[in-house]
Amino acid sequence: MKPFLVLLLKELKSIKKEKTILFAILIQFFIASFSSIILIGIMSFYDPTSIGDNTHVTIDVGVVGNNSKTMVGFLEERNLTVKPYDNINNAEEAFQQGEIDTIMSIPPDIDGTVDMTLVLPKADTSKTLILMILNEPLRKYENYFREINGIDLNYDDMEGKPHTTREFLYAVIIPILMLFPGFIAGSIVIDTISEEIESKTLDTLWSAPISLNQILGSKVTAALIMAIFQCILWIILLRFNHFTVHNAVSVLMLSFMIAACISLSAAMVALYFKDRERAQFVFSIILLFVAGCSYLLNPSPFDIITRLASGDHFISTCSIFIYVIPLTILTCIFIIMSKRLIRFKT
Amino acid sequence: MKNILIISKKEITRVKSRFTGKSRLIVLSVLALALIVSFFVYKQELVMGQGLYTIGVAPNGPAITDQRFNTISLDRETAIPSLYGKTIDAYVLPNGVMYRGDPRSQYAVSALKKYLEKEEIDRISKEYEIDLAFPLRVKIKDMEAPEFQPNNTTGNPLSSASGIEQDDTFEPTISETGKDISTESEIIDTTNGDIEATDTPAGESSLIPIESECDDEVLRQLEDYHNSNGLPKFEAEFVSDSDIIIPSLMTPPTPLAQVILAFLYVIPIFFVSVFFTSSFIEEKVNRKLIVLLSAPITPLQIILGKMLPYIIYSIIAIITITLILKGSVFLGLAIFIPVMLFILAIYLMVALLYRTFKDQTFFSVLAVWVITGYLVAPAMFSGVSDLSYVSPLTLAVQMYKGESFGLTEYLLSTVPMYLTFGIAVFLGTRIFNEEFLMGFRPLHTKLADAIYLAINRSHLYLSVFFINLALIPIVFMVQFASIVMASNLPMPYALWVLLAVSIIIEEIAKSTAIVVLLKNSVINSKRQILILSFISALGFLIGEKLLLYIALSVVSQSMFTEALFGAGLLIVPFIMHFIATASVCLLTARFGVKYFPAAIIAGSVIHAVYNLYVIGVIG
């Protein structure tokens, strides 16, 4: 056990010396920083109306038409400034002078149908933004006419907090943050092993009274310690930002087991190919393959993390511990095969 | 040219030799498996957050097919304790929903509302005449307007998102009452107490539908709405914005499909990058570099020779993808060649600056994130903000939306890419020597050495001038990244932090070359320092104003750009740049290179005072 610990400490020291851990944290900080901007970007794909929700911009709406009282009410509910105009010409003049941002011309309804005209700026960007701000009042106005037409929409009076941010955080960001350190760990294992093989230092080390598995095990363990350290750091960082990762221990255990599976596979790939170039390339394809396969699982590791982190009551511990099986199998294969793999000529 | 081709040929042979015999078989089978799995994943509907919400549904309630909802069939008697015990987030009845006031339940309800609204639109579109179901049609009329100036901005949309989420620590107490509950501590019931109510089909309405000219448009949008499943269609030819809007069928034009399509171009380049960087590593590890350098071949030829196969491969990939997606090959190449060169430039730097294998991995991962962030993040805002034009992917998004872009937009997004490539190749040729490439030194020393090697000592002044000019695109990109990072902070702080960071970055950029010369004792007199500071400030200012000229014509109104690039007369900012740089360099000369960071702070203070004066905070 002692030589193993010595090697492990050596690995960790080299990580410290090369300041690689700083890079890892820098990368994560970068992701974190981007997350809020990407958040809105992706959220707008995921749920286009969220742009309207996240915009506190208010606009001045010019309204023309005698039949507009109800609409004005909906606009004011959204905290928009409404300016009434007698006729469309006056309104258009005000629009061109920049006094109002948009004009709603509302004719009287004919048999429950209204053809409203909306004047918008030609520029694409402001047009989109204004449309998104007006979306909610327009929908309410539409429902108002539906009611007049005798159509009753169910579930239209539900309220709730805008969910997109939370959904995106738990469904995308947290799983990525918990699994990403594992991917990096795999890459690091390939780096350290292939570096030792390519610079022929592994042979020297092996001639000392240490088994090959101890040498390789120390490298895998060092990478795993780093991975789990990053995951813990993330959970703390998220906490500082008022986001709670529920069931943190279970989430960490799952992340650890997945990182361990990845690292052991990476070690075997590195032992087989013996050079960084091929090993990294094959590793990245295998990762793609495994990620694809795991997505087809139900529940996928991604979903398990999502559900655990969001505090779901119906996720069983069984779905975490099932990952002990591949981990055990991979560990056994690794222990048995390591010597054979390294002697394999490619 | 002949030498470049020889090196290219060698590079192709090298990569080929990597995959012979058994390893080729293994790589090909793994690749095939990955492709098959990717195909199956693509065939499945991509759902993020499966089972994120746990919803109880009454036996006669609606069928909820969205996989985000983990649904459990419950009768009312068991549902209420479950809701109370927080094991379910909401309870759906045929005509309403019961939920709690705590955030967890509220988020679930908001998601549920979106889903059920869509189902309801589906229902009424089938049950009623379209005139009745979609009574409001909004005709859009475009009109030239002055610059859009939203009033009363209480927070920027970027910073507000991070503040939305709250902890789920709120403990609710439950009591069942009517629907008009406003406190967070009670169950909210939207069923109006009439649980057994069922929908009344309204086939026979007294209103006679009048064929409106808009009906066809409604039908078309309705069809799109059914097909799209709420998300924009994944296809190259995007349906352009309609002139008639039906509020409940309206999906704002989000460029998701286009951004994914645009990103497809980048992936093949990322995949082969490991071979490109490894080509240099191998030469370093096997000490072949020494042999290569002694041959009658220039570093530029070696770099371009090694790069050429990857450039050709990327061009083929760009053309193939464009043809498959039925885009314009000319535009595709015009947009993605600079992107490809930019990525290769970054990987060239990764290959030349790394010290150990682990470095290489981290540099590469960092490079992937930086490149992806820089390219994708702005493109997601295409059509929403003009700032999106900093990324060439925005141009591709425009192309696949069937919209046009101007030459200024093209230049704004691609010139920094071309320049980065030029600078990287130039720097690469200067640092391509054994001592630099083989050495293991701290990163900042390595960067300083690289700058020192880049300076032509027989044309000292000219070198410093061009280094400053060339640094502009890099400063621009770093400052852009800092905008992104600053957007995490609340508004006034974001602006201050941004101001401070951009000043410090500019001061470092302007003085580094001179300080490197000081460190290597190439210069020592105050006169030389002052002249070099003058030249450095001049180079920087010219570069800055050139960029400003392009930027201003695209990004017309943004507080950030205003703060970053300033404005006003040329002579005053020049004097400021000169004084700040001279102060940094003179202080460093006086106290030693060790105190360079302190000198930077001093120079930044001078710079900041000037900026604050310009903005009007002081004076």
Does B114 lie at the interface with A, CB-CB under 8 angstroms?
yes
CA–CA separation, B371 and B350 (whole Å): 13
Could B51 and A198 be called an inter-chain contact, meaning their C-beta atoms sit closer than 8 Å? no
Task: Let me know the angle formed at the C-alpha of B299 by B297 and B305, rounded to the nearest 5 degrees.
Answer: 80
One domain, residues A205 and A267: yes
Q: Indicate whether A156 belongs to any domain.
A: no
Res A31: pLDDT: 59
Q: What is the DSSP letter of B234?
A: -
Residues 6+ positions from A168 with CB-CB distance below 8 Å: A39, A42, A43, A46, B48
**Series of mean pLDDT values for 10-residue runs along chain B (619 residues):** 87 84 84 86 73 88 86 89 87 87 85 86 85 85 66 37 37 35 52 41 36 66 62 38 73 65 82 84 74 82 92 93 86 91 90 77 78 77 71 84 80 84 89 77 80 86 86 74 64 77 88 90 88 90 74 52 50 85 91 90 90 71
Could B167 and A38 be called an inter-chain contact, meaning their C-beta atoms sit closer than 8 Å? no
Q: Indicate whether A49 belongs to any domain.
A: no
CA–CA separation, B248 and B132 (whole Å): 13
Higher pLDDT, A119 or B403: A119
What length does chain A have? Answer: 346
Does B142 lie at the interface with A, CB-CB under 8 angstroms?
yes
- Tokens for B151? 């009033």
* Contact (Cβ atoms closer than 8 angstroms) between residue A75 and residue A139: no
* Contact (Cβ atoms closer than 8 angstroms) between residue A118 and residue A104: yes
Q: What is the mean pLDDT of residues A183-208?
A: 83
Q: Indicate whether A170 belongs to any domain.
A: yes
User: Of B424, B454, B484, which residue constitutes the final position of a domain?
Assistant: B454
Q: Indicate whether A97 belongs to any domain.
A: yes
Q: Which residues of B touch A273 (CB under 8 A)?
A: 23
Could A155 and B96 be called an inter-chain contact, meaning their C-beta atoms sit closer than 8 Å? yes
Q: Looking at the 3D structure of chain A, how many domains does it have?
A: 2
Q: Which residues, listed in sequence order, are joined to residue A218 by a DSSP beta bridge?
A: none
A-B Cβ pairs (cutoff 8 Å, strict): 424
Q: Indicate whether A153 belongs to any domain.
A: no
Residue B337 lies in domain: 254-454
Could A119 and B167 be called an inter-chain contact, meaning their C-beta atoms sit closer than 8 Å? no
Residue A111 lies in domain: 55-148
One domain, residues B264 and B366: yes
Does A343 lie at the interface with B, CB-CB under 8 angstroms?
no
- Residue of chain A nearest B209, judged by CA positions: A111
* Number of other residues whose CB lies within 10 A of the CB of residue A11: 21
One domain, residues B318 and B409: yes
Look at residue A334 and tell me whether its pLDDT is greater than 70: yes
Q: Strand B53-57 relative to strand B69-73: parallel, antiparallel, unpaired?
A: parallel
CA–CA separation, B521 and B504 (whole Å): 25
Nearest CA distance, B457 vs chain A (angstrom)? 32
Which residue is associated with the tokens 């009611």?
A147
Could B488 and A42 be called an inter-chain contact, meaning their C-beta atoms sit closer than 8 Å? no
* ipTM of the complex as predicted: 0.76
Nearest CA distance, B99 vs chain A (angstrom)? 9
Higher pLDDT, B541 or A33: B541
Q: Indicate whether B31 belongs to any domain.
A: no
- Residue of chain A nearest B85, judged by CA positions: A313
Q: Indicate whether B333 belongs to any domain.
A: yes
Q: Which residues of B touch A174 (CB under 8 A)?
A: none
Could A131 and B149 be called an inter-chain contact, meaning their C-beta atoms sit closer than 8 Å? no
Q: Indicate whether B376 belongs to any domain.
A: yes
Peptide bond before A299: cis, by omega within 30 degrees of 0? yes
The mean-pLDDT minimum among A47-56, A221-230, A261-270 falls in A47-56
- Gyration radius (Cα) of chain B, Å: 31
One domain, residues A337 and A255: yes
Could B158 and A20 be called an inter-chain contact, meaning their C-beta atoms sit closer than 8 Å? no
One domain, residues A218 and A316: yes
Does A92 lie at the interface with B, CB-CB under 8 angstroms?
yes
User: Of A94, A118, A148, which residue constitutes the final position of a domain?
Assistant: A148
B286 phi/psi in degrees, rounded to 5: -85, 5
Could A113 and B377 be called an inter-chain contact, meaning their C-beta atoms sit closer than 8 Å? no
One domain, residues B446 and B552: no
Does B569 lie at the interface with A, CB-CB under 8 angstroms?
no
* Number of other residues whose CB lies within 10 A of the CB of residue B20: 10
Q: Of B114, B136, B158, which is closest to A116 when you measure between CB atoms?
A: B136
One domain, residues B421 and B492: no
Nearest CA distance, B109 vs chain A (angstrom)? 5
Res B316: pLDDT: 94
CA–CA separation, B61 and B177 (whole Å): 20
Query: From start to end of B45-185, where are the E strands?
Result: 53-57, 69-73, 90-93, 96-99, 136-143
Does B74 lie at the interface with A, CB-CB under 8 angstroms?
no
Q: Of A41, A54, A141, which is closest to B160 when you measure between CB atoms?
A: A54
- Tokens for A184? 């990096």
Does A346 lie at the interface with B, CB-CB under 8 angstroms?
yes
Alpha helices in A241-300 (DSSP H): 248-273, 276-296
Quick one: which H or E segment has residue B136? strand B136-143
* Number of other residues whose CB lies within 10 A of the CB of residue B519: 16
| pTM > 0.90 | no
- Residue of chain A nearest B159, judged by CA positions: A36
One domain, residues B432 and B341: yes
Res B313: pLDDT: 93
Of residues A197, A208, A78, A67, the one with CA closest to residue A133: A78
CA–CA separation, B348 and A75 (whole Å): 55
Q: Which residues of B touch A285 (CB under 8 A)?
A: 27, 30-31, 34
Q: Which residues, listed in sequence order, are joined to residue A61 by a DSSP beta bridge?
A: A82, A102
Could A36 and B487 be called an inter-chain contact, meaning their C-beta atoms sit closer than 8 Å? yes
One domain, residues B506 and B465: yes
CA torsion sign for A148, A149, A155, A156 is negative
Q: Which residues of B touch A19 (CB under 8 A)?
A: 443
CA–CA separation, B405 and B220 (whole Å): 28
- Tokens for B459? 């044309």
Of residues B331, B363, B335, the one with CA closest to residue B347: B363
Nearest CA distance, A253 vs chain B (angstrom)? 20
Nearest CA distance, A62 vs chain B (angstrom)? 14
Q: Which residues of A touch B169 (CB under 8 A)?
A: 244
Q: Of A55, A114, A277, which is closest to B18 when you measure between CB atoms?
A: A277
One domain, residues A235 and A88: no
CA–CA separation, A130 and B143 (whole Å): 14
User: Of A115, A148, A181, which residue constitutes the final position of a domain?
Assistant: A148
Task: Let me know the angle formed at the C-alpha of B540 by B538 and B546, rounded to the nearest 5 degrees.
Answer: 100
Q: Indicate whether A28 belongs to any domain.
A: yes
Q: Which residues of B touch A95 (CB under 8 A)?
A: 143, 145
Q: Strand A114-121 relative to strand B96-99: parallel, antiparallel, unpaired?
A: unpaired
One domain, residues A189 and A143: no
Q: Of A142, A246, A300, which is closest to B136 when you measure between CB atoms?
A: A142
User: What is the pLDDT confidence band of residue A26, given thresholds at 50, 70 and 90?
Assistant: low
Nearest CA distance, A1 vs chain B (angstrom)? 26
- Tokens for B179? 């629907």
* Contact (Cβ atoms closer than 8 angstroms) between residue B290 and residue B317: no
- Residue of chain A nearest B440, judged by CA positions: A18
Q: Indicate whether B12 belongs to any domain.
A: no
Q: Indicate whether A140 belongs to any domain.
A: yes
CA–CA separation, A168 and A179 (whole Å): 16
Quick one: which H or E segment has residue B506? helix B491-519
Q: Strand B90-93 relative to strand B136-143: parallel, antiparallel, unpaired?
A: unpaired
Q: Could you tell me the CATH number of the domain that includes residue A142?
A: 3.40.190.10
Q: Indicate whether A271 belongs to any domain.
A: yes
Q: How many percent of chain B have pLDDT more than 70?
A: 76
One domain, residues A233 and A320: yes
One domain, residues B332 and B354: yes
Residues 6+ positions from B448 with CB-CB distance below 8 Å: B512, B516, B519
Q: In B352-369, which positions are buried (b, 16+ CB within 10 angstroms) versus exposed (e)?
A: bbbbbbbbbbbbbbbbbb
Q: How many CA atoms lie within 13 A of B65 on its CB side?
A: 4
One domain, residues B432 and B461: no
One domain, residues B541 and B509: yes
CA–CA separation, B422 and B190 (whole Å): 64
Does B151 lie at the interface with A, CB-CB under 8 angstroms?
yes
Task: Let me know the angle formed at the C-alpha of B517 by B511 and B523, rounded to the nearest 5 degrees.
Answer: 110
One domain, residues A209 and A275: yes
Q: What tens digit of pLDDT does each residue of B294-313 get?
A: 778 888 998 999 999 999 99
Does A239 lie at the interface with B, CB-CB under 8 angstroms?
no
* Contact (Cβ atoms closer than 8 angstroms) between residue B477 and residue B485: no
B313 phi/psi in degrees, rounded to 5: -55, -45
Residues 6+ positions from B36 with CB-CB distance below 8 Å: none
CA torsion sign for B265, B227, B93, A153 is positive
Q: What is the dihedral of CA A209, A212, A216, A221, to 10 degrees?
A: -60
* Contact (Cβ atoms closer than 8 angstroms) between residue A75 and residue B177: no
- From first CA to last CA, the distance across chain B in angstroms is 60
The interface residues of chain B toward chain A in range 424-483, judged by CB-CB distance below 8 A, are 443
Does A273 lie at the interface with B, CB-CB under 8 angstroms?
yes
Could A167 and B443 be called an inter-chain contact, meaning their C-beta atoms sit closer than 8 Å? no
Could A98 and B149 be called an inter-chain contact, meaning their C-beta atoms sit closer than 8 Å? yes
Res A56: pLDDT: 57
- Tokens for B442? 């701290």
What secondary structure does DSSP assign to B355-408, as a single string?
-SHHHHHHHHHHHHHHHHHHHHHHHTTTTT-GGGGGSHHHHHHHHHTT----HH
One domain, residues B525 and B378: no
Res B602: pLDDT: 93
User: Of A126, A148, A170, which residue constitutes the final position of a domain?
Assistant: A148
Of residues A308, A165, A163, the one with CA closest to residue B106: A163
Could B165 and A166 be called an inter-chain contact, meaning their C-beta atoms sit closer than 8 Å? yes
The interface residues of chain B toward chain A in range 548-567, judged by CB-CB distance below 8 A, are none
- Residue of chain A nearest B230, judged by CA positions: A47
- Residue of chain A nearest B198, judged by CA positions: A154
B270 phi/psi in degrees, rounded to 5: -60, -40
Nearest CA distance, B150 vs chain A (angstrom)? 6
Res B150: pLDDT: 47
Q: Indicate whether B526 belongs to any domain.
A: yes
Q: What tens digit of pLDDT does each residue of A259-314 get?
A: 999 999 999 999 998 888 889 889 988 998 888 888 888 788 988 999 899 888 77
One domain, residues B246 and B377: no
* Number of other residues whose CB lies within 10 A of the CB of residue B255: 28
Q: Looking at the 3D structure of chain B, how many domains does it have?
A: 3
The interface residues of chain A toward chain B in range 7-36, judged by CB-CB distance below 8 A, are 15, 18-20, 23-24, 26-27, 30-31, 33-34, 36
One domain, residues A339 and A311: yes
One domain, residues B354 and B476: no
CA–CA separation, A189 and A207 (whole Å): 21
Q: Which amino acid is at B161?
A: A
Q: What is the DSSP letter of B521?
A: T
CA torsion sign for A208, A210, A212, A217 is negative
One domain, residues A265 and A175: yes
Q: What tens digit of pLDDT does each residue of B175-219 get?
A: 333 333 334 445 666 655 443 333 333 333 333 333 455 677 777
Res B48: pLDDT: 73
Res B582: pLDDT: 92
Could B49 and A155 be called an inter-chain contact, meaning their C-beta atoms sit closer than 8 Å? no
Q: Which residues of A touch B199 (CB under 8 A)?
A: 152, 154
Strands, sheet with A114-121, edge to edge from the N-terminal-most edge strand: A81-85, A60-64, A102-105, A114-121, B136-143, B244-245
